[in-house]
Amino acid sequence: MKLDALIQFYNEFTPASVARFPEFYSADAWFKDPFNEVRGIEAIQRIFTHMFGQVAEPQFVVTEKVVDATGAMLAWEFRFRMKLWRKGETQVIRGVSHLKFDAEGKVCYHRDYWDAAEELYEKLPLIGSVVKFFHKMFSS
């Protein structure tokens, strides 16, 4: 397991970093987040390449790690600015990645957990007001 190197990889993530996924992920790694579910390094690379096209100044900051013999949980913040809306405001999404490693110490399972409604949809024009309305309606 190369966890510290993986954390550094994400903390220093740039468009050029996308080519380095084979250093950290197995060839058939599985990845899932609220918008994607893919298998294989090329598919994972496409997700992150797309991310760089959609947001400005993306930055991952790993804030905590919990490790056991077969995997890890990483708490993180994803900071960015949108290219199309709220251009001047830095947005922050907080989430957790559940990672499992293969016999070679590479990531074979990567599941991201974050609340798309709170962290993203509430910040969107028009949609945000609807999401906020339902959030208030269902909260106690």
Parse the chain into domains and list their residue ranges.
Answer: 3-115
| 3-115 CATH choice from 3.40.50.620, 3.10.450.50, 2.60.120.480, 3.40.50.2020 | 3.10.450.50
pLDDT recorded at residue 90: 85
- 107 has which bridge partners? 25, 101
Provide the H-helix boundaries in 1-140: 3-11, 21-24, 41-54, 116-119, 127-138
Instruction: Tell me whether strands 25-32 and 107-113 are parallel, antiparallel or unpaired.
Output: parallel
Give the DSSP H or E segment for 31: strand 25-32
pLDDT recorded at residue 35: 87
pLDDT recorded at residue 131: 46
- Cβ atoms 24, 102 nearer than 8 A: no
pLDDT recorded at residue 60: 96
pLDDT recorded at residue 98: 98
* Residue ranges of the chain with per-residue pLDDT less than 50: 121, 131, 135
- Classify 45 as helix, strand or coil: helix
pLDDT recorded at residue 138: 56
pLDDT recorded at residue 54: 86
pLDDT recorded at residue 11: 96
Tokens of 140: 């106690």
